[in-house]
Chains A and B, each alone.
Chain A
Amino acid sequence: MSAAIKTPRGALLATLLVLSIFPLFGSDYYSELLTKIMIMAIFAMSLDLLVGFTGLVSFGHAAFFGIAAYAVVLVSPQYDPSSLWLVLPAAVLAAAVAAFVIGLFVLRTKGIYFIMVTLAFAQMIYFVFHDSPLGGGSDGVFINFKPELRIGETQLLDLGNAAHFYYVVLLLLVATYVFLRILLRSPLGHALAGIKSNEHRMLSLGFPVFLYKLAGFVIAGALAGVAGFLSACQFGFVTPEILSWHQSGNVLLMVILGGMGTLNGAAIGAFAFVVLQEVFSALTKHWQFLMGTVIVLVVMLLPGGLSSLTQRVRRLLVGGGSNG
C-alpha cells in the first residue's frame, strides 16, 4: 500500500546505469554471468508477486519458466531463426495458459497444501517433458537458431549475438520491474496485498478472492515465462531439468533470502544466489553442500525468522538510498 517501502531511487538509477554500460567495459564472461543474473532476477521478481505480495508460497514456479522455454523450442523452425515477434508472445502465452489451468487447481488449497500441491504440479509438468518425445525427452533439445527481430529485410536484433541479447534482457528486466511496480499500486495490487494480510476479511468485504489470486498467479506465471524464454535463448538448449523442483526451490530461495515483498530484494537475491553458485562451484564439485550449509545457518541464526534480517537490511538500504 502507500505505506510500502520507498524505493531507493538513487540506488536503482545507479544500478541501471552500471547495467547499461557494463558490456562496454566488462569481459564477456562477466557480461554473460550478468545476463544470467538478470534473467534470474526477472524470474525471482515474478515469484515475489506471489510469495511476497499475495502470500502464496509456490514451490512450483519453475513449471512456467520451463514451459516457456519449451515453447521456444516447439515454435522455432528447425533450419531458420524464428521471429522474436512470434516466439516471445508464444512463450509468455504458453506460460500464462499453464498458470491459468494449474491455478484453477492449486488455488483451491491453502498454506502447507499449497506448497505441496504446487510442487506436485510442477513435477507433473516435468514428467510431461521428461517422459514424452515432445521436447526431446530426458536428453533435452537444442535450439539451432536463436530468434531474431526483423523489419522487412533488415535484421534489427539477433539474440544469438551476445551484446544484442544482453540489452534485450536488460530491457525486459526494466520492463518487468516497472510493470510490477505499476501493478502493485493498482487496485489489483492493493487487493492482492489485502489477500496477503487478511484473506478472510477480503471475502467478507465482497472480494472474489479466488479470481484475484488466479489473476496474480497467471501474471506471475507469464512473467516467469519471460524469464524462461530468455533462458532458453541464452543457452540454446532446453532440458527437463530447467523445470525441476530444484529450480523452483532455488528461485524461492532467491526471493526469501533477498527479502520478500520488495521486488528489489528478489533481484538482490538472484544476484547473490548466482554469484554464490559461481563461487562455490569453482571451489568444489560438492558446491551444493556449501549452499545448503549457508541456507541452514541463515535460518538457524536468525531467531526472529528471516524477515528480521531482511527488514534490517531493508532499513539499511532505505536509509542509505532514499537520500540519493
Chain B
Amino acid sequence: MDLTTFLIQLLNALQYGLLLFLVASGLTLIFGIMGIINLAHGSFYMMGAYMAFALTSATGNLFVAILLGIVLSALIGFLLEWGLFSRLYKRDHLDQVLLTYGLILMFEEIRSMIVGDDVHGVRIPEMLSASIQLSETLSYPVYRLFMSGVCIVLAVLMYWLIRHTRLGMMIRAGSSNREMVQSLGINIDLIYRLVFALGVTLAAFAGMLAAPVSSVYPGMGNQVLIICFVVVVIGGVGSVWGAFVAALLIGLADTFGKVIIPDFAGLTVYLLMAAVLLWRPEGIFRRI
C-alpha cells in the first residue's frame, strides 16, 4: 500500500468510525442513563437515511431535508419515550429486548409499506460534490470530509454538553441516582425524554448524513445496530468517551480489515471485540 492509498483508507476509517460514534453514543447514553437496552436504535439510523431520501426528493435539497429530518426524528423520539419507553424503566432487560425487537419488525415493515424495498441513492449536494485530487489516479470526495467534520463538531458539542452544562450535570446525576435528583425538584421525566430524543436524533442524523455515501436500503439499520453493540461492548456500557475510542478503533479495524483480509472482511470487527473481551470483559472504559 502506498502512502496515498494509506491516507485514503485512513480517512475512510476515520469517517466510518465517527459516524458509528454518532449512532453508538445515543445507544450508550440511553443505556447508561435510563438503563434501557434498545435494539430498535438501528431502526432510527435507517429511518434517518430514508428521511434523507424522501425529503431530498421532495424538497430537492439535502440540507433542507436534514433540517426537517432532525425535527421529525426528535419528535418521534419524544413521542416514543412518552408512549412506550417511559413505561419500561422498571421492567427487566428481557421485556426491553422483547419490546424493542417488536419495534424493529414494525419499523422495518412501515418502511417497506411507505417506501418499498428498493435500494435508493441520495444525491450529494452540488457544493460538496467535488473531489480533492491526491495523486494522478487517486482522489478523495469532499463530502466524506464534510461528514467527518460534522461528526467531530458534534462529538465536541456532546462532550461540552455532558461536562459543562446544567443539563449535562443533571444527565450525569440522573444516571447515578434517580430519586436524589428528583428530590431536588428536577424534572427527571423531562430529562429522560430529552435524552431519549437526543439519542434518536443522533442516530437518525447519522443515517441522513450517510445516505448519499452508503445509499439507502432495507436492513441497513440492523447492520449498524450490531456494529454499535460491538462499539458499546468495547467502549464500556454507558461510557460516551469509551464509545468514541471504540468507534474509531472499529473504523480502523473494519477499513483496514477489508484491505488486508478481503475474504473475511466482516470478521475483523468481531475479532477485535473478542480480544477486548479477553482483556477487559467490561469494556475499555466504564461509565461516563
Interface residues in chain A, defined as those with a beta carbon under 8 Å from any beta carbon in chain B:
51, 57, 59, 105-106, 108-109, 111-113, 115-117, 119-121, 123-124, 127-128, 130-132, 245, 249, 252-253, 256, 286, 288-289, 291-296, 298-300, 303, 305-306
Contacts and interface: CB of A to CB of B under 8 A. Distances in A.
Given A295-B101, A299-B102, A123 B226 contact: yes
B108 A296 contact: no
A108 B37 CA distance: 19
Given A57-B93, A123-B270, A292 B109 contact: yes
Nearest to B273: A120
Main secondary structure of the interface of A (DSSP, over half): helix
A146 B169 CA distance: 63
B106 A289 contact: yes
Contacts of A252: 97-98, 101
Interface stretch (B8-16, B57-65, B84-92): B84-92
A245 B222 contact: yes
A291 B105 contact: yes
Contacts of B88: 299
28 contacts: A57-B93, A105-B274, A108-B278, A112-B93, A115-B37, A116-B37, A116-B229, A117-B233, A117-B273, A120-B230, A120-B270, A124-B266, A131-B263, A131-B264, A253-B101, A286-B112, A286-B113, A288-B105, A288-B106, A288-B108, A289-B105, A289-B106, A291-B105, A292-B101, A292-B105, A300-B84, A303-B87, A306-B94
A56 to B, nearest CB: 11
Contact of A295 (B98, B109, B233): B98
A47 B107 CA distance: 27
Given A131-B265, A132-B263, A57 B97 contact: yes
Nearest to A289: B109
B98 A286 contact: no
B25 to A, nearest CB: 15
B142 interface: no
Nearest to A108: B281
Interface size bracket, B side: 35 or more
Contact of A300 (B87, B94, B106, B277): B87
Given A120-B233, A291-B105, A109 B277 contact: yes
A274 to B, nearest CB: 16
Contacts of B106: 288-289, 292-293, 296
A130 B94 CA distance: 29
Binding site of B, secondary structure by majority: helix, strand, loop or mixed? helix
B270 A127 contact: yes
A249 to B, nearest CB: 5
Contacts, number: 131
B98 A105 contact: no
A115 B109 CA distance: 24
Nearest to B31: A112
Interface string B250-270: 000000000000011111001
Contacts of A123: 226, 270
Given A120-B273, A286-B109, A59 B97 contact: yes
Contact of A109 (B37, B108, B112, B281): B281
B103 A109 contact: no
A286 B237 CA distance: 34
Contacts of A106: 277
B99 A299 contact: yes
Interface in B99-144: 99, 101-110, 112-113
Query: Residue among A123, A127, A131, A298 with the most chain B CB within 10 A?
Result: A123
Contacts of B281: 108-109, 113
B101 A249 contact: yes
A115 B93 contact: yes
Contacts of A291: 102, 105
Given A124-B270, A245-B222, A300-B99, A289 B277 contact: no
B87 to A, nearest CB: 7
A295 B105 contact: yes
B270 A305 contact: no
Nearest to A244: B222
A124 B101 CA distance: 20
B267 A127 contact: yes
Nearest to B101: A249
A119 B226 contact: yes
Q: Lowest 6 A-B CB distances belong to which pairs?
A: A295-B102, A292-B105, A127-B266, A289-B109, A124-B270, A292-B106
**Interface hub of A105, A253, A292 (most chain B Cβ within 10 A):** A292
A106 B270 CA distance: 12
Identify which of B87, B88, B93, B281 gathers the most chain A CB atoms within 10 Å of its CB.
B281
A249 B108 CA distance: 15
A51 to B, nearest CB: 8
